[in-house]
Structure 1
Amino acid sequence: MTYHHTTSGHDEAGAGLDAIIGERRRLIALAYRLLGSLAEAEDAVQETYTRWYAMSRPQQDAIESHGAWLTTVATRVCLDLLGSARVRRERYVGEWIPEPLPERTDWISGRQGTAANDPADPADRVTLDESVSMAFLVVLESMTPAQRVALVLHDVFGYPFGEIAGITGRTPAACRELASAARRRVRASLPPETAPTAHQARLVRDFKRAWDAQDIDALMSLLAPGATFTADGGGVVAAALHPIEGREGIARYLTDLTGRASGGLAVLERTVNGRAGLVIEHEGVTVAVYAFDIADDRIARIWAVRNPDKLRPWSR
């Protein structure tokens, strides 16, 4: 793969170092979407920089585009991690849900890739905000690592299939087919959103009020008939091991959950992965983060992350 050089000269070494360090936010934004875990994304980017600094200065100078090199290495590190993650998640206790992100995570938006438009590519794109929603990340989990990489690099960050081929070691045609298969899976799993963001926030607020009031009927009225509730305790804390299906079962489970909780429990409205969500605190400590998927003016899916290892970004 060719990396195009944009700077030269010994006096530009400092600027070059700044540019290298400046890529970190974009790399984490990419790695988080690929891995679904902020902790693993940080590890992948750290490994990428470790490989960069392990090279001699002449080797670094020979690389014509530092950003392209870092992206290639980070993506390949993520591919390796995705392979091992599948093995680990087969042994995971209960359901595995991607790690939720708080509103203040400013790198969520990342930076658009440097790719030029490819006339052979489809016109539709996944926006950066959409690509960090919990619903989208959950669909990514159902894909093969290769499909996931092709879709994220192309549809989210705008890289042409020629560059993706160089990163993944596949042909452009193969990468195009991988992204197409991944896109079909997304469309089948995620119907287009119809409710404006403000309306989605109102639904979540109404859900919170009904939950606070222990009003089963009100909760059921906000849930779709075929709604699902999925919890992730990771075997560390108590959580439903299997998804709960149906609005009545979900409503009764949630009211029973808070009914059994000791004092000091607070349900707070927060932005979770760019969408309206809820944070559960017990005596000021975050013990759960709830993400929602809205469809046809009803709450269709709820993801409740309780594994404390995934709640580190939410600590005050």
Structure 2
Amino acid sequence: MTADLATDVFEEHRPFLMGVAYRMLGRVADAEDVVQDAWLRWYRADRTDVREPRAYLVRITTRLAIDRLRQVQSRGEAYVGPWLPEPYLTEFGDTAPDSADRAVLADTVSLAVLVVLESLSPLERAVFVLREAFGYPYAEIATLLDRGEAAVRQLAGRARRHVAERRPRYDVDPARRRDLTERFIAAAVEGDLEGLMSLLAPDVQLVGDSGGKAKAPLRILHTADKVGRFLVGVSRSGPPGLAFRLVETNGGPAVLIISDDRPDSLFQLDIADDRVTAVYVVRNPDKLRSLAAR
């Protein structure tokens, strides 16, 4: 395989590899680093006997992501306030366009699920991502991870139970989510408490991620009254000239707020039974850099 052909093959699979790495890591920059490292290893490798480039590349990417997760966990870095994954613009280049496949991929890349995945071990997370997000057979996952199939099945079962116990259930209809997101933002911008209360579930929670680098609640807010009043207070005290842009991140509609031509924050909602059950607010500027050019 020539160098040019090797480059073409890798670029063909890059979106898929990015999808795997991001679900493994929950951080766009780390995922990009892992994919770049995978490219370097692919380029330098003896590719003479590689019959299935995607399987070869997924194996490299997954193992690099596991190593990166272990490094992060071993550092045990303290984080100021609640933690959320870095928002990831999803155009589903790593999936088939089938609506059922899209729903599954959206679920496995959602902010809520990625938060749950943070509590899994690196191996459990790898198995869950490969099995639940991309449908890999257990035998193939075992080969990718150099583990026995029985061990992989155990890891998968444990991860699946853990996620099922903690994963919130929400409306995945794209049109409905978009409509409620637009209504929610309109009510929040106008400081319409009554309008917000009509959209919020009684037990709604608001999770704000600032990393201590911007203003956001340092604890999760609970109940419609507290969340609604907080949002109205923010709308009344916010700076003038904000721009609002509807984007798709993590498999669903989100609102990117721009201030002085820079991303200021991103809002995304979980929705169930036509009510907002969770509000995710990312304000950590480090986690908004990948959205700057959008």
User: Same-fold call, TM > 0.5?
Assistant: yes
Deviations along 1:15-68, whole A, 9 cap, x unmatched? 44421332222111110111111111010011112223333xxx3313343322
Pairing partner for 1:110 from 77, 80, 94? 94
Aligned residues: 289
Q: Which residue of 2 aligns with 1:277?
A: 254
Q: CA deviation at 1:78?
A: 0.4
Q: 1:43 to 1:195 in 2, by over 3 A?
A: closer
CA–CA distance in 1 between the matches of 2:175 and 2:164?
23
Say if 1:125 and 1:155, in contact at 8 Å, map to a contact too.
no
Secondary structure of 1:205's partner?
helix
1:76-91 aligned at under 5 Å gives the runs 76-88=63-75, 90-91=77-78
Aligned to 1:162: 139
**Residue 190 (structure 1) aligned with residue 167 (structure 2):** yes
User: CA shift at 1:202, angstroms?
Assistant: 1.9
SS in 1 for 2:268: strand
| CA pair 141-284 structure 1, distance change in 2 beyond 3 A | same
Please give the secondary structure, in 2, of the residue aligned with 1:62. Answer: coil
Q: Which amino acid aligns with 1:70?
A: L
Please say if residues 105 and 251 of structure 2, whose CA atoms lie closer than 8 Å, have aligned partners that are also in contact: no
The answer to whether structure 1 residue 146 and structure 2 residue 123 are counterparts is yes
What is the 5 A alignment of 1:196-235?
A: 196-235=173-212
Contact residue 205 and residue 220 of structure 2 kept, 8 A? yes
Cα distance in 1, alignment partners of residues 11 and 174 from structure 2: 34
Query: Cα 1:50–1:14, aligned 2, differ >3 Å: closer, same or farther?
Result: closer
Match of 1:128, SS state, is helix
- The Cα offsets for residues 110-162 of structure 1, whole Å up to 9 and x where unpaired, read as 147xxxxxxxxxxx997223222222222222322222111111121121111
Report the equivalent of 1:248.
Answer: 225
Match of 1:92 among 68, 79, 84: 79
Report what 2:265 is aligned to. Answer: 288
| Partner secondary structure for residue 120 of structure 2 | coil
Determine which of 31, 34, 38 is the counterpart of 1:48: 38
Alpha carbons 1:89, 1:96 under 8 Å: kept: no
**What one-letter code is carried by the residue in structure 1 that aligns with 2:155?**
L
Q: CA deviation at 1:245?
A: 1.1
Pick closer, same or farther for the CA change 1:279–1:163 going to 2, 3 Å.
Answer: same
User: Displacement, 1:168?
Assistant: 2.0
Asked whether the equivalents of residues 125 and 156 of structure 1 are also in contact (C-alpha less than 8 Å), the reply is no
Q: Give the CA deviation at 1:304.
A: 0.6
Change in 2 beyond 3 A, CA 1:173/1:135: same
What SS does the corresponding residue of 1:80 show, helix, strand or coil?
Answer: helix
Aligned residue for 1:39? 29
Q: If the length of structure 1 is used for normalisation, what is the TM-score?
A: 0.83
Q: CA deviation at 1:224?
A: 1.1
Residue matched to 2:13: 23
**Contiguous gaps of at least 5 residues in structure 1:** 1-9, 113-123
Letter in 1 for 2:158: A
Distance in structure 2 (CA, Å) of the matches to 1:150 and 1:189: 18
Tell me how far 1:96 sits from its aligned partner. Answer: 1.6
TM-superposition CA deviations, 1:72-118 (whole Å, max 9, x none): 1110110011112234564122222111123xx43x34147xxxxxx
Mean alpha-carbon deviation: is it higher for 192-201 or for 169-178? 192-201
Identical residues among aligned pairs (%): 37
Gaps of 5+ in 2: none
Going from structure 1 to structure 2, the CA distance change for 1:293 and 1:87 (only over 3 Å counts) comes to farther
> Given the two structures, how large is their TM-score scaled by the length of structure 2?
0.89
C-alpha contact (below 8 Å) 1:109/1:129 kept by paired residues = no
SS in 1 for 2:83: coil
Q: 1:257 and 2:237 equivalent?
A: no
| Secondary structure in structure 1 of the residue aligned to 2:286 | helix
Query: Relative to 1, partners in 2 of residues 1:14 and 1:84: Cα closer, same or farther, differing over 3 Å?
Result: closer
**2:94 maps to amino acid:** G
Corresponding residue for residue 57 of structure 2: 70
**Is 1:179 matched up with 2:163?**
no
Task: Indicate the structure (1 or 2) with the bigger Cα radius of gyration.
Answer: 1
Q: Rate the CA distance shift 1:166–1:206 in 2: closer, same or farther, 3 A.
A: same
Task: Give the C-alpha shift of residue 269 in structure 1.
Answer: 3.2
